[in-house]
Structure 1
């Protein structure tokens, strides 16, 4: 889910926080990775998923939607910029970034070459609403939820959503490499969120964490050095350091997953004939290591080291 606008969260980021609400109580395990917990879906027969049998919006073309602006590390800019491109910040058509690379990998598994993929900008809030879509697939940090799955089809996961620690670059916490190393620092998070519960249940700092009514308030406390670090979900951490904090902030690291793991899904029309084929493609990409390699290149390798 999304957040945009320096120091002021847009509704899309508010949805992220809402989706992340609740507790995480299990012992941490794992690192940022391609989602390994598929939803139960009907299996498609090989013939049904043959390219010539796929029911796409346009025959011979796979139309993929994404929100615009398309932010890194999910979509990366092109250098030089693509002439006449409608995309801001990131450029989905270059295949660079977690979600752009995932989209093209899925397309290839479905039998579509890169030049048979068309991208269209679609606002996130429009994509998740019930009703017909102007795309075959949609990738823009869509977190799976049972409620959302009543309005649209959501694929098995392609990325598990971790929590992360954000700090100012000149704070000593920025050099921490383990979860245990966070214990002696002052941490903060918005109240009622998975992020706050993660601090309490899994980091267990020596000093009680600071609690804030909003994410903006937590960010302001960080910039005022009232806390050493704040815990947020990983997409928010990337947005904060790239847009809101700019050169001042850094991602100390992503935290091991704990409890029920939230994941990103590919969104499709409700009851889309493509859903089972997409799940089959994702299963293959997990088995052959492609998704793990994409995560390693565009998440772990983009300034979000895994805290051990």
Structure 2
């Protein structure tokens, strides 16, 4: 069965600015293997979601568009074979729909086409599209990413062994003033911290032992670790707060494909595969939750 309306897969930077996010050179190239489908994804290939009945523009293909690539979500060093977290998510979804990564085709589009699609040759939208974004003619899927806060510490320190928020009582925490991390420490952890004017100031304070732990957004981890003078480890990530930035995919309204994609996403979450992809691309493979009660 063919769907005759516009279908789009897009990688977007609508909701977050480039400031403070890792650039392509800061990504650990060893993690690029995480973009490929490395294991079986939860499948949704029966009934209306069987490969023969998928409502994609071209049978057996998922035509994907992206705009303004931003690492580690998306790096288009090779237009035909990009890498990044969003790419890994799309590949896992394709696998769940009975396709492999060779059947995913990438196209760069203008940013305005991400949530108000005008092209007829693409399939769905993915990447940094906030669930609160204004959309026109598309419906958002269930979320695939929620911004978490991450604790960075010195190797072999007591801070590196923290497993719950009470373990942080009496420690010296540092954050960037006015950042989502600053708000998280104040409103969710309800712990004292020192707020610095910039990321560079925070890293200097950590280097000079004025603080013994830094809390940063998960999207800033790779860049922070790559530009820090000395060694850092990811102690763990905190559960996302209720008001954390949350991203979803977008699919043209009334396209039955959204049900199939939501089924795959539910399976990826339940199996832990989505969390593993996130840890591979954002936290050097560390997938450890620091418990906290909101």
Q: Distance in 2 between matches of 1:188 and 1:236?
A: 12
**Secondary structure, counterpart of 1:11 in structure 2:** coil
Name the residue aligned to 2:52.
Answer: 52
1:146-188 per-residue CA deviation (whole Å, 9 max, x = no partner) reads x435564321122333112346x58967634233333321422
Q: Give the Cα–Cα distance (whole angstroms) in 2 for the partners of residues 11 and 300 of structure 1.
A: 20
Tell whether the 8 Å contact from 1:2 to 1:13 is kept in structure 2 after alignment: no
Alignment of 1:1-308 (within 5 A): 11-13=17-19, 47-67=47-67, 69=69, 71-72=71-72, 74=73, 85-86=78-79, 91-92=82-83, 98-122=85-109, 125-126=111-112, 128-133=114-119, 135-145=122-132, 147-149=133-135, 152-166=138-152, 169=154, 175-178=160-163, 179-183=165-169, 184-191=171-178, 193-205=179-191, 208-211=192-195, 217-225=197-205, 227-242=211-226, 244-245=227-228, 250-259=233-242, 262-295=245-278, 298=281, 302-303=285-286, 305-308=288-291
Q: Is the 8 A contact 2:159 2:235 kept in 1?
A: yes
Separation in 2 of the partners of 1:251 and 1:127? 37
> What TM-score do the two structures reach when normalised by structure 2?
0.64
Contact kept, 8 Å, 1:2 with 1:236, in 2: the verdict is no
Relative to 1, partners in 2 of residues 1:289 and 1:204: Cα closer, same or farther, differing over 3 Å? closer
d(CA) in 2 for partners of 1:54, 1:267: 16
Query: Size of the alignment, in residue pairs?
Result: 250
State the TM-score, normalized to the length of structure 1: 0.62
Contiguous gaps of at least 5 residues in structure 1: 4-9, 16-43, 78-83
Secondary structure (helix, strand or coil) at the match of 1:197 reads helix
**1:50–1:138 CA distance, 2 compared to 1 (3 A):** same
Is the 8 Å Cα contact of residues 45 and 51 (structure 2) preserved in structure 1? no
8 Å contact from structure 2 (residues 149, 240) kept in 1 = yes
Offset at residue 195 of structure 1 (A) = 2.3
Q: CA RMSD in A?
A: 4.1
Comparing 294-303 and 279-288, the one that deviates more: 294-303
The unaligned stretches of length 5 or more in structure 2 are 1-10, 22-43
